[in-house]
Structure 1
């Protein structure tokens, strides 16, 4: 008994010290000091969020009580810019081979590296394997090195869409689909077993537009003829590390020790000298020049809106209508907030939630400048909540538009009766008392009611675009139809105002608000207290365990989760188009 009590006490003591150590590491305001002649080390082998996330118990070090941080796109770009002006940073070392990020955000990071090189400092990349997307980013480096047994994936882009109709047929579930927009292909996975001609056309145009931009960027930095790159892709000419060097995709075929020797030569170090290398996570705590204006009362609010748009309060990984209307109202009424930058990275979701949030954006834009910065996706509901902003900034590869709506009502009669042997019987007080009952198919009059509702929401969506963007209704009707556009294409139609990243949107917001000195404040605010840490400990472990077990099938699991969560009429892009 005594041993049990002592053991329990020790376990509790260790947990207490761990949590206390993490909490103190977050609240410690002492700035990190950086040595001269240092390298900024960037490893992006993790799922990169929009806003930096704090997952303290994942990869937590019990030796130095150092919590795990997943730097977001905004902080990565901001710290690359900071490093360019930092006299102690001589260069950047990229060492990763895979990238969990969309093409638009990848381009934003790539542009930040190119701007960094303009300071006269160097960028070196090394990996054992480069995925297509990771190579696209690392090709901006001055020197790209590859392990002698490594490989560069360089065979073109592809977009995959999962179809569930045959699965639903097998289990006895009928998807009763209602939609508006001939390109609103979000319903196709439930009613078809392959892409429609319209969907194939739209996706092909999108993919080729993204591909052309990627190849042009690589051609410029690697100084390779564009037609040569196309030939390498089409004929799969790069199959070994030697091939990668032969065709100019990499500069050197080296082991890591040879890369480190090269880095030492760039830093004018001797063979036995240690390289002063600081990780991106630690460098985030190094104060830069911009922190000098941090005490100014004028604020530009940077509101991150990432994930599916859902009804209610929502969670950390989606855009809940209650949560975001409260945030937008708070920022609208805060006199110290001179402008709002709404960072949207969403494929859409609930049409009702999108309309509710759009209303708050409209109210805020009438009182102070609201600038939308689009990430990888700002489509369907993601565009709906953006339309009333004063200005919209998108990346060339942002997937946006998808102005259309749909609704799906499952009929599980066959599954319940024929597969499971379950039958239902009951009484109603009116003709429509059991409207939407999943144990029976919809009647024709019920289908007509639903389609009228979908039509009404579609008209409201287009009216929002007409009013918010001041575009002719006939043009909106033409470019709507549920069709997805890249940022570059959207610019031609007036769906966005200019091309650029988050930094450009912040500068635009400061100019519109006539704020010369300001500080950027991020929302939702990150709650770092002990209770939040414990909550994230639970969530992080659940997600990490699933990722470990499912591996490459985790994306399929995520898609099924999204499907299970669908309710009501949706303003959502054609499921998730994964460009690889």
Structure 2
């Protein structure tokens, strides 16, 4: 009883504290001075503070308090802002300042399209950075001019991928990982079993990197008027270029200091207020004022639903809760005001059973006569592909990561670790497999055979669903499956997707399936918003046991790997998931 009272009291205090913080923030907001009017002639500035995600997100309480996390803007909102600026007479130019934090190369590609529309309106795009990374330059390559200071470094060294392996350290501390899997290329389990990549995984990783680099070079080459062969030669022979070398190669347009850029912009639009060198408006401020876009307010309604994160069982708000997303789809199916659905998927997969729950609702949506189109974001693989494969149409970008049609099971055993610290766990059971998901014992050959049979059955079902949904011969699906990861460009050739295109293209595809040239959009949000999400960040502290306090990215990456292990330990079972924590840069 005392423990119950303590827990209840702690929860009440936490909620009161949260409400107090919210009240303070709200009061400060009301007391703050109003934002100045946007100048009649100014530059729209998009700088390194920009953080995007598919649907937008709020920081956790701990991340907000330590100023190590910030709210992310929905990618669609940023794109809408750029397109609105193209026809806004007040906006004379865009300045891409340093490098924003975009969630993957596909996000940059979609932003590229919006920026090209801005340029087509005969408005210049300026880009400036002290140094350029490849990912940052991918977006800035559409600018004219692209500017760097004299001592800037330009990165054109090619792509690299880092995969961490934990087998050695796990063995040293007495942790064992037993696995079952299907698929020659299903490498998600390798970091827990090996100290280096298998040949099969090395083969697929190089295929992915080469595919992504091919898309990168093609897009940059088109934007800059440089052949892919020339760019590839720079990658192979130089890698890092000085600003003068980048200028000579045609990668940038000017070598200049920042103050010289400011003077040029001042000549374009005039001076700003007391602390601004030129008349300008930040993207956040511009989006606050921007009117909602007119997406043709007549005609049928297309609902847009976001599926972002790892797929997990139940109604979890961390990632994609299978039951939760299924409920969203079901609600749209029964809603007579919704005529079609676009599902935007950005997921490496996860729980096989949760993926099946979602797929069932996708099938029922089609049976109800409502077209459903999938728009793939940066990643839509394994379980992310499972939930997509029965859509009426699937669209992806050339550099989307997809495929990974394979299944695995993971069964951690920490008995050795407990022995090291003097803890003994005794298991009592009424059946030979009652302890199948226990963390405290080594699984017998018979038990692993049971689980392998289960994994084989799930994999066969995965193949059936892909073959049926995509209209492909099952033997061919098995041949291209095996857990292998494909780029969007290659997936199109294999018949795993229907078209290359962004979210807008998917919406247009859905409209064509409905049979209309006019439509309106309804972005269908989760039930939990605002205060619910804020309180969740307080009441679930395990989501932020380590916060980035200036730690090296390698340490944070290792922590993510350990969090993944914790997830498998908490939910032993069968997964349809990508090789995790893949860091491509």
- Mark yes or no: TM-score above 0.5: yes
> How many angstroms apart in 2 are the aligned matches of 1:446 and 1:382?
29
Compared with structure 1, are the counterparts of its residues 356 and 221 closer, same or farther at alpha carbon in structure 2 (3 Å cutoff)?
Answer: same
Deviating more after overlay: 271-280 vs 148-157: 271-280
Whether contact under 8 Å (2:347, 2:381) holds in the other structure is yes
Whether contact under 8 Å (1:305, 1:343) holds in the other structure is yes
Compared with structure 1, are the counterparts of its residues 35 and 271 closer, same or farther at alpha carbon in structure 2 (3 Å cutoff)?
Answer: closer
> How many angstroms apart in 1 are the aligned matches of 2:390 and 2:31?
42
- Residue 414 of structure 1 corresponds to 416
User: Within 5 A, what are the aligned runs for 1:272-311?
Assistant: 275-288=278-291, 290-291=293-294, 293=296, 298-311=300-313
Q: By how many angstroms is 1:537 displaced?
A: 7.6
| Pick aligned residue for 1:36 from 28, 36, 40 | 40
- The answer on 1:124 being equivalent to 2:126 is yes
Whether contact under 8 Å (1:97, 1:129) holds in the other structure is no
Compared with structure 1, are the counterparts of its residues 297 and 498 closer, same or farther at alpha carbon in structure 2 (3 Å cutoff)?
Answer: closer
User: Within 5 A, what are the aligned runs for 1:314-463?
Assistant: 314-315=316-317, 317-367=318-368, 368-417=370-419, 419-463=420-464
Whether contact under 8 Å (2:386, 2:466) holds in the other structure is yes
Could you report, residue by residue, the CA deviation over 1:33-75 in whole angstroms, capped at 9, with x for unpaired residues?
64322221112445421112345989999xxxxx975222221
Compared with structure 1, are the counterparts of its residues 212 and 254 closer, same or farther at alpha carbon in structure 2 (3 Å cutoff)?
Answer: same
> How many angstroms apart in 2 are the aligned matches of 1:351 and 1:216?
36
Deviating more after overlay: 273-282 vs 556-565: 273-282
> How many angstroms apart in 2 are the aligned matches of 1:56 and 1:168?
30
Could you report, residue by residue, the CA deviation over 1:483-538 in whole angstroms, capped at 9, with x for unpaired residues?
00111111111110100001111111122223444332223248665565565588
Whether contact under 8 Å (2:63, 2:547) holds in the other structure is no
> How many angstroms apart in 1 are the aligned matches of 2:543 and 2:353?
30
- Residue 481 of structure 1 corresponds to 482
Q: By how many angstroms is 1:459 displaced?
A: 0.6
- Residue 472 of structure 1 corresponds to 473
Deviating more after overlay: 189-198 vs 91-100: 91-100
User: Within 5 A, what are the aligned runs for 1:194-343?
Assistant: 194-236=196-238, 238-267=240-269, 275-288=278-291, 290-291=293-294, 293=296, 298-315=300-317, 317-343=318-344
> How many angstroms apart in 1 are the aligned matches of 2:123 and 2:45?
14
Compared with structure 1, are the counterparts of its residues 546 and 522 closer, same or farther at alpha carbon in structure 2 (3 Å cutoff)?
Answer: same
Whether contact under 8 Å (1:97, 1:128) holds in the other structure is no
Whether contact under 8 Å (1:387, 1:465) holds in the other structure is yes
SS in 2 for 1:214: helix
Compared with structure 1, are the counterparts of its residues 528 and 576 closer, same or farther at alpha carbon in structure 2 (3 Å cutoff)?
Answer: closer
> How many angstroms apart in 1 are the aligned matches of 2:234 and 2:116?
24
Q: By how many angstroms is 1:324 displaced?
A: 0.6
Whether contact under 8 Å (2:299, 2:516) holds in the other structure is no
- Residue 175 of structure 2 corresponds to 173
SS in 2 for 1:290: coil
RMSD over equivalenced CA pairs, Å: 3.2
Deviating more after overlay: 197-206 vs 520-529: 520-529
Whether contact under 8 Å (2:102, 2:108) holds in the other structure is no
SS in 2 for 1:130: coil
- The answer on 1:150 being equivalent to 2:152 is yes
Could you report, residue by residue, the CA deviation over 1:443-495 in whole angstroms, capped at 9, with x for unpaired residues?
11111100000000001111110111111111111111100011111111111
Gaps of 5+ in 1: 1-10, 62-66
Q: By how many angstroms is 1:563 displaced?
A: 2.6
Compared with structure 1, are the counterparts of its residues 137 and 75 closer, same or farther at alpha carbon in structure 2 (3 Å cutoff)?
Answer: same
> How many angstroms apart in 2 are the aligned matches of 1:129 and 1:538?
41
SS in 2 for 1:574: coil
Compared with structure 1, are the counterparts of its residues 80 and 307 closer, same or farther at alpha carbon in structure 2 (3 Å cutoff)?
Answer: same
Q: By how many angstroms is 1:211 displaced?
A: 0.5
> How many angstroms apart in 2 are the aligned matches of 1:115 and 1:540?
43
Please give the TM-score of this superposition, normalised by the length of structure 2.
0.88
Deviating more after overlay: 208-217 vs 37-46: 37-46
Could you report, residue by residue, the CA deviation over 1:313-355 in whole angstroms, capped at 9, with x for unpaired residues?
122x400012111111101111111111100000000011111
Q: By how many angstroms is 1:404 displaced?
A: 0.3
- Residue 571 of structure 1 corresponds to 576
SS in 1 for 2:43: strand
SS in 2 for 1:81: helix
Q: By how many angstroms is 1:372 displaced?
A: 0.4
> How many angstroms apart in 1 are the aligned matches of 2:97 and 2:465?
45
- Residue 12 of structure 2 corresponds to none
> How many angstroms apart in 2 are the aligned matches of 1:131 and 1:484?
25
- Residue 189 of structure 2 corresponds to 187
- Residue 161 of structure 2 corresponds to 159
Compared with structure 1, are the counterparts of its residues 161 and 354 closer, same or farther at alpha carbon in structure 2 (3 Å cutoff)?
Answer: same
| Pick aligned residue for 2:89 from 81, 87, 106 | 87
Compared with structure 1, are the counterparts of its residues 436 and 261 closer, same or farther at alpha carbon in structure 2 (3 Å cutoff)?
Answer: same
Please give the TM-score of this superposition, normalised by the length of structure 1.
0.88
> How many angstroms apart in 1 are the aligned matches of 2:315 and 2:141?
41
Compared with structure 1, are the counterparts of its residues 538 and 274 closer, same or farther at alpha carbon in structure 2 (3 Å cutoff)?
Answer: farther
Deviating more after overlay: 570-579 vs 381-390: 570-579
> How many angstroms apart in 2 are the aligned matches of 1:37 and 1:512?
42
SS in 2 for 1:245: helix
Gaps of 5+ in 2: 1-17
Compared with structure 1, are the counterparts of its residues 409 and 503 closer, same or farther at alpha carbon in structure 2 (3 Å cutoff)?
Answer: same
SS in 2 for 1:392: strand
Compared with structure 1, are the counterparts of its residues 569 and 535 closer, same or farther at alpha carbon in structure 2 (3 Å cutoff)?
Answer: closer
> How many angstroms apart in 1 are the aligned matches of 2:270 and 2:551?
46
